Each structure stands twice: as structure tokens, then as C-alpha cells.
Amino acid sequence: MKKFLIAALATTTAVSAHAGTINFDARADYDSKTYDESNLADTSQFYFKTVRLDYQGKATDDLTFRLRAAYNKAGTATTGAGDNSQTALEFAYLTHKMGDMFSLQVGKLGSEYGAIESQTSGADLYLTSQAYTKQGVVGIGATNSSTLVGGYLSTSSLLYVMGAKLIFNMTPDQNLSLVVFKTPDVATSGAVAPAATTSNAMMEGLIYKGLFMDKNLRVMASYHMGTGNVPSTDDKFTLYSAGITYNFGGYVLAGVDYTNSAYERDGDGAKDSIYSIIGKVAYTGWEQWVPRLEVIASEEKVETNATAANNGTNKFMGYGAVVEYKPIADTTFRYHIAYSNTTEKFDGRTTNPADAKVDQITVGARWNADFLK
């Protein structure tokens, strides 16, 4: 019996050592939006911003894996982005460490376009840029939709892609990655996206990430390009971004991002583009409270829309304030309250609408914990 107990204990310890982590991450919010000079209706709702399970583990010291699924996304029973996976599946990849300098990832992984904003967990985002969401303040034309009309790709449409990534670890704190993946099947201005089975367009990206000054300075830059997702054309996507964050004395964390996405249509050479600049400053010197100020400036230039009145320039300016409160020490549980105001201005259209505004208030809580601990 004694030998049996010792063997069982040894087996349990070995299994636990290879079990990895299973993180449950959930954020629930009450959200209220009030619009002015917009065809969008005011909204007020409770909803899940995030609900997901994230399993990370290893088969050997050189072969690791990650599987993350979200349960707050619509259409989880349908395939997403033409990769033959459910919309709910965010990550599903293997990482093979090939020596000290190179690693290869294969599967559904991150494109890493969008700099610091794209690398921040969605559960920690409040005011997001127009380049990230491709969402405006006022609907276009007679439609009751805030979706921007440009043919460019948003950061959020490239968060999770099916492909391969080669990572070159130049130093322990710096790496360079080359990623290749299928262009998402999204509609572009003036053309309709093809079915996933008929589109074989590809995108490539180069990403640099580095930590400096005792890891207080974080730098990230990326460049992505690829062909359009309409067969028999030479439509082009060009995307680049850069961002930095700096920790001042362990009390103030500040960062700024620049993100640009452009689409050029074959034939007439017409272009759509958007850029966003994102700035954030947080005070982290208190144990339980973290206040943060956020500002976003974006400009969208539309030159390819089939409706001439929708061509022109849209400018956005957004301001936000966030307070997070952690009532229990040594946990990731928190409450948060956020307020933001975003204004959209129009220029160059046949009939320019009045400046549109939206005020948003978000109150909620987040909990992130490892099931295996």
C-alpha cells in the first residue's frame, strides 16, 4: 500500500507538471451610449465583454501549445475568416523551439499588427481607435450602422489569423518575427468579398518587439502587406504600426501608438486609408486603485466608395477616463468604471453631415484566474 501511494503521488506530480495552465477570463459590463447628430439609437445594456478559456501547456521542453476559445462572440457555430474554424476559436497553435534563436509557430495565431493596442487584452480595452474597430459615430447614408466604409482592414479583423510565424530571438529582450497568413474574407469598398473557398489571397508581415532600460521601455513596430481578397485583381493592402510604452519610476505608465491601414483598388488606383494615434497615461503607484486617461485621434480618407457622397475625409477625436479598483489583494479580480466622448467630423462629401458625438459610460468587473491552481 505504501509503495502504491508513493507511485500514485509521483504520477500525480508528473501530470501536474505537464498540465500547463487553464485560465478563465471574464469581464461583464453595464454599458450606456448616448448619440448626438447620429442616426444611431441610444443604447443601454448589460453584456459580456469577455468570456474565454485559455489553455497553455507543453508536450516537451521544445514543443508548446496554446488553445483559446471565446464564448461571447456571435456566430460561434459558423466558420470564421475562411480558415475552417469556428468564430469562437481565437488561438490554436503549436510553437516549436528550434535552438536558442529560432521558434516556429503554426496554426491560428496573432498577426501582431496594431502595435501596443492590439497586444492589449480586449478585457483591458475601453476607448478603442477607429483603426482598431472600423466603427464610427454616425451611420453612412440611410443605413443605421456605424461601420466605416473604407476598404482597408481593421486591426480587430487581424487579431487572429491562420498561418505560420517564424520568430528570431536576437537577444533575450528583442525579437523579429515573419508571419504569413490568409487575407481575411471581408468586403471591400466597391466590391464584394468572395466565398472563403474561392479566395486564396495571402498577407505577409514583419514584426519587431523589444524591451530596454531595465524593461521599463517597451517598443513594437510592424509592417504587413498582401493582395486583395477579390480573385483576378491586383488589389493591395498595406498596413504598418508602431508603439512605445514607458514606466516612469514604477508609478506612471505612459504609451503612444500609431496605426495605419490602406487599401488600393486595381484598375483605377483609388485608395482608402485610415490612421489612428492612441495615447494613454496611467498612475500605478496605489495598491488598489489605477486611474488612467486616454486620447485617440483618427482620420479616414475614402476614395473608392460606389456612392460618391460617401467619399471624403472623416476625422475623429476621442477622450476617455478610466478607474480600476482591486478590492482583494493578490488576485486579478477588479471593478472598473470608464467614461469617453468621441466626435466625428466630416469633410469633402457632397453633403457633409453635422458633427456627430457619442458619450459612453461603462461599469463592470473582470476576473482572470488559473483553474489548475
Averaged pLDDT, 43-58: 95
More confident residue, 22 or 141: 22
Higher-pLDDT residue of 104, 230? 104
- pLDDT at position 194 is 45
* Cα–Cα distance measured from residue 236 to residue 270, given in angstroms and rounded to the nearest whole number: 11
Q: What does the pLDDT look like over 126-165, one tens digit per residue?
A: 999 999 999 888 765 444 456 787 888 999 989 999 999 9
Q: Confidence class of residue 188 from pLDDT cuts 50, 70 and 90?
A: low
pLDDT band of 87, cuts 50, 70, 90: confident
Judged against a pLDDT cut of 70, whether residue 279 lies above it is answered with yes
Q: Which three cell numbers stand for residue 70?
A: 471565446
Q: Does residue 254 register a pLDDT over 70? A: yes
State the DSSP code for 188: B
Query: How far is Cα of residue 191 from the mean position of the Cα atoms in its chain?
Result: 25
Q: Specify whether the CB–CB gap between 369 and 126 falls below 8 A.
A: no
Q: What is the pLDDT of residue 11?
A: 39
Least confident of 119-123, 285-289, 300-304, 319-323: 300-304
Q: pLDDT tens for residues 98-127?
A: 988 999 999 999 999 999 999 999 999 999
- Closest to 185 (Cα-Cα) out of 204, 164, 165, 158: 158
CATH number, domain 24-370: 2.40.160.10
- Distance of alpha carbon 221 from alpha carbon 260, whole angstroms: 12
Using CA atoms, how far apart are residues 299 and 150, in angstroms rounded to an integer?
11
- Residues 6 or more apart whose CB falls under 8 angstroms from that of 362 comprise 29, 30, 31, 32, 126, 336, 337, 338, 339
Per-domain boundaries in the chain? 24-370
pTM for the predicted model, two decimal places: 0.87
* More confident of the two residues 15 and 351: 351
Report the alpha-carbon distance of residue 325 to residue 332 in Å, rounded: 10
Average pLDDT for 290-305: 92
Report how far residue 273's alpha carbon sits from residue 134's, in angstroms, rounded to the nearest whole number: 11
CA nearest to 364, candidates 330, 329, 325: 325
**Whose CA is closest to 167, among 84, 115, 98, 229?**
98
DSSP H helices in the chain: 2-18, 115-119, 130-133
